[in-house]
Amino acid sequence: MTLTGLYVPLITPFDASGAVALDALTVLAHDVLDAGAAGLVALGTTGEPTSLSGEERREVLDALVAVCRTRRAHLLVGANSVEALHALGERPEVTAALSLVPPFLRPGGAGVLAYFAHLAKASPVPLVVYHVPYRTGQQLSADELRRLADLPGVIGIKYAAGGIDTGTVDFLADLRPGFAVLGGEDPLISPLLALGAHGAIVASAHVATTDFVQLVEHWHAGDLTRGRPLGHRLAGLSAALFAEPNPAVIKAVLHAQGRIPTAAVRLPLLAASPDAARRALGHLNELTSLPT
């Protein structure tokens, strides 16, 4: 199984009392699947999992498991410890765990490989490695990424390297069969797809979901004429949605659209500024007013 297509890492909406708005979360999940997303990501960074209680995390996961069971959609779940991975074994709807390269310690490439070999051996579900070096402090070479791809139980990578350099080009030029590269840097999804990525995990796709689905389809079909201009427009939208720490601006836009009850985030995040929300809404309105 190679993961392809668009995956949306869902926010966690909160109601006016500060509780998780599970009904709104369920509607959001159905909305993005209706728009063509291949699957969902539960408890990723966009979902503010470290700001949720254990009970809230279980409720969020229960809600998204129920949606994916009904829709027969893929479900990736953020899990970064053996204990968290073991809990996923009780949920047959889970396609894979999304597991972060160990942050802060910077154990080196050999340490990262040993870490994921250990996790994959202990995990009842396959792993998708989340590589985001500007957050973790750990860069990996193209050769180290390919060695990750060779580990049993590791089926893909969320690739969010902070840019596209010769290492990115080298890595995407020699992909292992059955190993999925999912772009995770929202403004750079189009060039990553052009270089051979199989799909994307895109928080920006809470809005303009259909456009992101079409972007993946255009590049997979080799349709440069439509893929390139759509990619440029979506990059501008993504830049506006990430102008302040994620998911604050996305939540502000969803609230302005009436799709979630509040735009609230939990500390240490702060609510989006009115200017950032207006700019993002402007980009979205401009995108939706253009002919397809």
Q: Does the pLDDT value for residue 131 go beyond 60? A: yes
Specify the CATH number for the domain of residue 135: 3.20.20.70
In a domain, residue 230? The reply is no
Which pLDDT belongs to residue 40? 98
Please give the single-letter amino acid code of residue 214.
Q
The contacts of residue 200 (CB under 8 Å, 6+ apart) are 6, 7, 182, 183, 184, 189, 192, 193, 212, 216
Query: What is the domain count for the chain?
Result: 1
Asked whether residue 186 is assigned to any structural domain, the reply reads yes
Would the pLDDT of 1 be above 80?
no
What's residue 287's pLDDT?
Answer: 87
Q: What is the pTM of this model?
A: 0.96
Active site residue 134: no
* Mean pLDDT rounded to a whole number for the chain: 96
- The residue-averaged pLDDT of 26-35 equals 98
The position carrying tokens 């270089």 is 195
Q: With beta carbons less than 8 A apart as the criterion, state whether 14 and 21 touch.
A: yes
Which residue in 115, 121, 130, 251 is the catalytic one?
130
Q: Is the pLDDT of residue 290 over 80?
A: no
Residue 291's pLDDT band (cuts 50, 70, 90) = low
| Residue-range definition of the domain harbouring residue 124 | 5-223
- Give the dihedral of Cα atoms 64, 152, 200, 39; nearest 10 deg: -20
Task: Please list, in sequence order, all residues whose beta carbon lies within 8 angstroms of the beta carbon of residue 273, skipping any fewer than 6 positions away.
Answer: 244
Mean pLDDT in residue range 134-147: 96
Which pair of tokens denotes residue 15?
Answer: 């109601």
- The whole-angstrom separation of Cα 110 and Cα 7 is 29
Determine contact, residues 172/191, Cβ cutoff 8 Å: no
The answer to whether residue 212 sits within a structural domain is yes
Q: Indicate which residue of 7, 115, 134, 158 is catalytic.
A: 158
In a domain, 286, yes or no: no
Query: Domain for residue 232, yes or no?
Result: no
Give the bridge partners for 156, in sequence order: 128, 180
- What pLDDT, on a 0 to 100 scale, did the predictor assign at position 288? 78
Q: What percent of the chain has pLDDT over 90?
A: 96
Q: How far apart are CA 248 and CA 272, in angstroms?
A: 5
Q: What is the mean pLDDT of residues 220-238?
A: 97
Share of residues in the chain with pLDDT > 70 (%): 99
DSSP, residue by residue, 144-192: HHHHHHTSTTEEEEEE--SS--HHHHHHHTSPPTT-EEEE--GGGHHHH
Local confidence band at 149 (pLDDT 50, 70, 90 cut-offs): very high
Distance of CA 112 to the CA centre of its chain: 21
Active site annotation includes 121: no
Is 291 inside any structural domain?
Answer: no
The reply to whether 200 falls in a domain is yes
pLDDT of residue 292: 55
3-class DSSP state of 41 = strand
**155 lies in some domain:** yes
